[in-house]
Every structure is written in C-alpha cells, then in structure tokens.
Structure 1
Amino acid sequence: MPTIAWRKIAGLIIDIMKTSITKSSLHPMYYLGPALWGIASFNILRVVTDLTKKDEFWSGGIKIHLVGLLISVAFCYVITLLWRRRLERTFAATTSTAQNVWVEYLIAIVQIMAIFNPTVFVFEYFGWIYMGDGYIDYMLVNAVYIPLFLLYYMFLRNEHIDKNMADNRIYVEQIKADKLNTELQLLKSQYHPHFLFNALNTVYFQIEESNTLAKKSVEQLSELLRYQIYNVDEKVSMEQELAFLKSYIAFQQQRLTERLTVNMDIDEDWTGVTVFPLLFQPLIENAFKYVRGQYAIDICLKQEEGKIYFRITNSLSEYSTVKPAILFAESPESGAGLSNLKKRLALVYPQRHTLNTQVDNKHFFAELILNM
C-alpha cells in the first residue's frame, strides 16, 4: 500500500480522535470506544466471511487486512462524530427521549450505507483491499455492519440520554440552590419588618393634618411595602395583584411631572385567575425610571387562551442616551431589575414564560407572557 495513503488514513483517525478528546472531559472510553468498536466489527466480519467459506482466518495477506481494519476504525470515528452531533441537535429540539426513534434509526442506516459502501469501493478500486466475490461480499459487509452499527447507535443514544439526565440533575440542584439563596435574601429583607411599619406610622402622625398629600403617600407606601413583604411565596388572585399595581402606579405618578401620561388597557374579568405576585412590578418600575421624551407610558394586561399577556412601553428622548434602558434589557448585572426577575421567573414559571424587551431611540418595550 502506498505510504501517502497510509499517512492519510492515520491522519484522519488522529484528527477525529483529537476532536473527540477536545470536546469531552468524560471517561476515556468516550474517545477510545469508536476504535474498539471498529476493531470488533471488522473481526466479526472476518469470522463471517472467512470461516463460513472455510477459509483460513485472516487469509489474503496481513497488509490487506490491516487496511480493512483501519477503514473500519476510521469509519467508526466518522460515524460517531456525525451521530453525536445529530443526537445533540435532536435532544436540544425536544425534551422527550422517544422522539421519532424509527426515523432516527432509518437515517442511521442510510448514513452507514452511504458512507461505508463508497469507501470500500474506492479502496478496492485502488487495490488496497480485496472483495473477492464482488456484490456478494458487499452484501455480507452490509449484513454485518448495519446491525452492528445500529446497536452502536443505540449505545450512543443511551449515552446521550444519560448525559442529559445528569445535566438535568445538575440544573435541578442549581435551581434548588438559587431558590434557597432567594429565600435567604428574602429573609434578610424581611428582618424586623414591623420596625419599618412602626417607623412609617410614626412619620404619618408627625405630618400635619393639613398636609393630606403627604399622609396619603405614607399610607400608600405602607400598603405597598406590606404587599411586597408578605405576599411573595404563594400565588395571589389577579384582583389582588391588580390592586397592588394600580396603587404602585398611582404612587409613582405622584413623584413625577404632571406631563406624564399613563394609559392602561386592562381586562376587567379575572375571576379564578391566580398568579405569583410582583412579576409585573419590575417592568413598571423600569418604565417610570426611564420615561422621557413625550413622558408617556402604555400598559396592557390581557388574558387569552390560558395565557397572561403583559406589555408595557415607555417613551424615550431621542436626544438623550438610552443606555439605562439597554442595560436593563441586556445586562446580567442589572441589580434588582431584569436579572432578578429572570431568576424568579425560572423558579416559579419554569419553561412556562416568555420575556422579551426591545429598545429604539424613542421607545422601550417589554413583554411578559405567562402560561397559566
């Protein structure tokens, strides 16, 4: 066999092995397995073809059989690379482990035949291997390799399922840790809340009776804080949440310019609908914080086909920076804004929510969809 061909085959095997090694820190069998399977498959083929013909095992010359062995190993690495990539895409598209299994195996059969047979034909054409009985030997090769590699595909599929299960366990543990951390932060924020309410009560009575606006603000603030402290762990009715949101909006309007316009389009009937509280408030707070330009905020809250749709838009000045709004939309370090909201949504509505934000020179838009 020409030296160049040997080098190409060896180089192909080494490159594929390097790719497998660099992509995984798993057990050595992850990248040595294809070589072992290729060697085992070739020897099974030799048993079937030689012993059934009553030929001497490994008859025909050691060089020819070594080339065949290298073809088997290289093919196994190539097909392993293709299948692992396909399995990653397949399992990423759905959480089910039983999705179109028959289609998967049919595609695997086509890949085996489409890659292996032309490879064997080319090597035989150049005289590097010998297929003595022509199409009969091709039939034997396919009859041996197709079942063996379908079994190998099953092993790879189960390997991927095990890996997904391990990743899911890690994800669940991470969610538990995040939840415990959130609960700890909540406990810290609730430390002696009665002191805060007593302090507000003291301030309330220190305000002159004639200053009704200040007294009203203190009352509103007290009720808002009470709702935020005591109603965060369990679902509340949408009527309760809407009452809080309207109070919060009214409180925010008091401290802003009279130019501010707040337009609200909210469904009236929320009978029987419950929701985890304080999921809309961060988005409303953001709108009040960054509203500029025309000083307009549009709020829409609807329910449709088992989903809650919340949309809010605030105007921006085309002459002022929109960096604060962009930071709120994209930065993972956005403090108590979107970052905390995303974490809480992952805890209370895992895979049952959608949060979108958009910003341009004149508007900031946020949309939150909850699957009830």
Structure 2
Amino acid sequence: MSSKYLKTVFPAVYGLLIYACIRLVNDVISGEQFWTRDWRTNAIEIGCSIIFGYLFKGLVDYFLRASLKKVVFNSGSALKEFLSLILALELLVVITFFPLAAFTDDGLQWYDAINLSLIPVLFWLLHFSFARSINLLKKAHEQQVKIEQITSDKLQTELQFLKAQFHPHFLFNALNTIYFQVDKANTAAKFSIEKLSELLRYQLYDQSEKVPLSRELDYLQTYIALQRQRMEEDLNLSIQLQEEGDSTVQIYPLLLLPLVENAFKYVGGTGSIRIAMTITNNELRFEVCNSIPVLPEYEKKKAGIGLENLQRRLDLLYPNQHQLITAKDHDHFLAILKITI
C-alpha cells in the first residue's frame, strides 16, 4: 500500500476511531448502546465523523507547515504553538461536533460537551506531537547532512589550496633568482617579475580568515598593472574603485580576482574592460564588464572553472549574504558580485 494512499485514507480512519471512543464513553455514562439505535442516526454520525477527520487533519497540517518554517525552536515557542492549536481545535469542535450532538438522541448533554471538548482535541494533539517530532528529526538529519557536505567541501578546498601552494612557492623562489639575473637596463622585464612576485607573496603569506579590503584592492591593482604591461596597446581599461572607508571593511581574500582574471582572459573585440566597486548600506558591489569577440567560435567555448570555484567559495564563506550575477550579449560579458559586509 503506497504512502500516498495511506495519507488519503488516514483522516477517515482516524475520524472513525475518535467517533468510536466518544460513542463508547458516552454510552458508559448514559447506559445506552449505540448499535441499538436507529441505523440512520449512526450512519449520519459516522459520515460526519469521516468528514470531520479531513477537516481536523487539514487544520493540524496547517500548524505542522508553520512549525517547519521556524528556524529556532525553544520551549516558549513550542508552548505558544500548542496553546494556539488547542484553541483552534476547540473552536472546530464547537463548529462541528457540538451541532451534530445537539440534533441526535436527547440533544447536547453536559457529558457530551465534556467528552467532545476533550477526546477529539487529545487525539489530534497526539497526532500533531508525533508528526511534529518526525518532521523535526527529518529536519535535523537534513541539517546534519548539509553541515557534513559543507565541511567536506571546505576540506576539499583547503586540500586543493595546499596542493596548489607548491607551484607558487617554486615560482616565487625562481622569480627572485631571475630578478637579480635580469639586466638593470631591462626595466620592463624587472617590473613584470616584481609584480608577479608581489602577487605570489600575497597568495602565500597573506592568507588569513579575513583581510582589509584595502589590501585586497592593492592585490588587484598589482594584477591589473601586470596585465596592463602585457597588453597595453590593445587595452581600453577603466577602473573606478570606491576606496573611501574601506580601511575598516574586512573581506575574505581572493574573491574579487576571479572576475578580473576572467575579464583579461576573454577580452576581445574592442578590447575594453571596465572595473567598478562601490560600498553602499553595508553592501559591497563589484562589477566587471569586458568586450568579447563577435565570433561563432567564442560561443562554443565552455566557461572556465574560475567562476564556478568562486561560486562555491561564496556559498561557503557568505551563505545567504551574496549574489553573483553574470550576463552576456553578442559583444560584452558582465559579472556583478554583491556581498553583505
């Protein structure tokens, strides 16, 4: 039997169980035997009990959905939730069971009112408590799985970073050697080596949990200077970085570079790159736009892993506090990163 079928049948069966309990308790008090009554009266009560089962199930499900949406659970909120459900159930009892009892047998007696006020409410509170516990266990399990996945992704990222450090260390030491071997008159080569060394030094020795935004911008300026040296004649570069107040802003390192690196890697067409950053209302907005070749071959190129890795890092470091937007038309590629700082 499928779970969907069970969910469909459950309210009717549960409603009949509640009706049987109410009927037995009332018969014990009144000395009656409900199976000796007119069959039409029993049929009406049984039919109404089935309908009432679906009504009560709908009410309880509404409270269960509201409970699942809550992020924090505590004794105060749980007590308030149960009291609200009890009041709602009592109101539904008055609307449904009380009129049914008033028009059958000898009307609504005092024991009818007590039994109807207690038995259906207790049964549905029991169902709510059981279903709520199952939902909380499922939610806790999902959160545990999510935490384990985030931990695994973070460990993999750290492992990849440690593996990648070998190459920067080797290059950094080699560049220091080459720098002193280059002729003093060759200023362009010495400039390029010096800038590349600064980039590697930042990656190797300036990695902390967070860094001042000003240092991250210095790193970007160094990278841009190196790229400008490489493609000065073909580059139309515009940089607008709002640096006021960034001395107190902290940011995780190497989050802005992938967007700039991607622009220099794929720039084409008019050779234009525009880089802009603003800070407004505790939100950092970093925007990079570059022209791209208007060629069919470019459309076939697959996106690199730089932006994909950036998205994964943002998910880990700034969960629900970031937005990465990319858009492409026939001759430009735009990337916008928003971070709540």
TM-score, structure 2 normalization: 0.76
Match of 1:10 in 2: none
- Tell me which of 249, 259, 265 is aligned to 1:273: 249
Secondary structure in 2 matching 1:355: strand
* Contact 1:322-1:361 at 8 Å conserved across structures: no
Q: Is the alpha carbon distance of 1:309 and 1:254 closer, same or farther for their aligned partners in structure 2, counting shifts above 3 Å? A: same
Match of 2:104 in 1: 132
Match of 2:170 in 1: 195
Secondary structure in 2 matching 1:298: strand
2-structure distance, mates of 1:34, 1:225: 67
Match of 1:204 in 2: 179
1:244 paired to 2:216: no
1:37-116 correspondence runs (5 A)? 37-38=14-15, 40-56=17-33, 60=37, 87=64, 91=68, 95-97=71-73, 98=77, 101=81, 105=85
2-structure distance, mates of 1:145, 1:299: 66
* Contact 1:16-1:77 at 8 Å conserved across structures: no
* Contact 1:310-1:367 at 8 Å conserved across structures: yes
* Contact 2:60-2:124 at 8 Å conserved across structures: no
Secondary structure in 2 matching 1:297: strand
Match of 1:220 in 2: 195
Alignment RMSD: 4.4
Secondary structure in 1 matching 2:335: strand
2-structure distance, mates of 1:106, 1:257: 75
Aligned residues, how many? 332
Structure 1 spans left out of the alignment, 5+ residues: 1-13, 21-30, 125-130, 329-333
1:354 paired to 2:323: yes
Secondary structure in 1 matching 2:289: strand
Match of 2:130 in 1: 155
After alignment, is 302-311 or 103-112 more displaced? 103-112
2-structure distance, mates of 1:103, 1:321: 66
* Contact 2:220-2:257 at 8 Å conserved across structures: yes
Q: Is the alpha carbon distance of 1:283 and 1:145 closer, same or farther for their aligned partners in structure 2, counting shifts above 3 Å? A: same
2-structure distance, mates of 1:66, 1:229: 81
2-structure distance, mates of 1:179, 1:185: 10
Report the alpha carbon displacement of residue 280 of structure 1 after superposing the two structures with TM.
Answer: 0.9
After alignment, is 307-316 or 97-106 more displaced? 97-106
2-structure distance, mates of 1:296, 1:163: 52
Secondary structure in 1 matching 2:237: strand
Report the alpha carbon displacement of residue 183 of structure 1 after superposing the two structures with TM.
Answer: 1.5
* Contact 2:199-2:223 at 8 Å conserved across structures: yes
2-structure distance, mates of 1:295, 1:104: 65
* Contact 1:252-1:288 at 8 Å conserved across structures: yes
Report the alpha carbon displacement of residue 241 of structure 1 after superposing the two structures with TM.
Answer: 0.5
Q: Is the alpha carbon distance of 1:338 and 1:37 closer, same or farther for their aligned partners in structure 2, counting shifts above 3 Å? A: farther
Q: Is the alpha carbon distance of 1:132 and 1:69 closer, same or farther for their aligned partners in structure 2, counting shifts above 3 Å? A: closer
Secondary structure in 2 matching 1:249: helix
2-structure distance, mates of 1:208, 1:68: 103
Deviation readout 1:255-314 (Å, 9 max, x if unpaired):
336232222221122121111100111111112222233322222212122222212222
Q: Is the alpha carbon distance of 1:299 and 1:47 closer, same or farther for their aligned partners in structure 2, counting shifts above 3 Å? A: farther
Secondary structure in 1 matching 2:166: coil
Task: Give the letter for the 1:227 counterpart.
Answer: Y
Structure 2 spans left out of the alignment, 5+ residues: none
Report the alpha carbon displacement of residue 66 of structure 1 after superposing the two structures with TM.
Answer: 9.4
Q: Is the alpha carbon distance of 1:207 and 1:62 closer, same or farther for their aligned partners in structure 2, counting shifts above 3 Å? A: farther
Report the alpha carbon displacement of residue 316 of structure 1 after superposing the two structures with TM.
Answer: 2.9
- Tell me which of 306, 310, 322 is aligned to 1:341: 310
TM-score, structure 1 normalization: 0.70
1:167 paired to 2:136: no
1:304-343 correspondence runs (5 A)? 304-320=280-296, 323=299, 327-328=302-303, 334-335=304-305, 337-343=306-312
1:10-25 correspondence runs (5 A)? 17-18=4-5
* Contact 1:112-1:146 at 8 Å conserved across structures: no
* Contact 2:282-2:340 at 8 Å conserved across structures: yes
Report the alpha carbon displacement of residue 170 of structure 1 after superposing the two structures with TM.
Answer: 1.5
Aligned-residue identity in percent: 34
Secondary structure in 2 matching 1:191: helix
Q: Is the alpha carbon distance of 1:259 and 1:36 closer, same or farther for their aligned partners in structure 2, counting shifts above 3 Å? A: same
1-structure distance, mates of 2:288, 2:242: 15
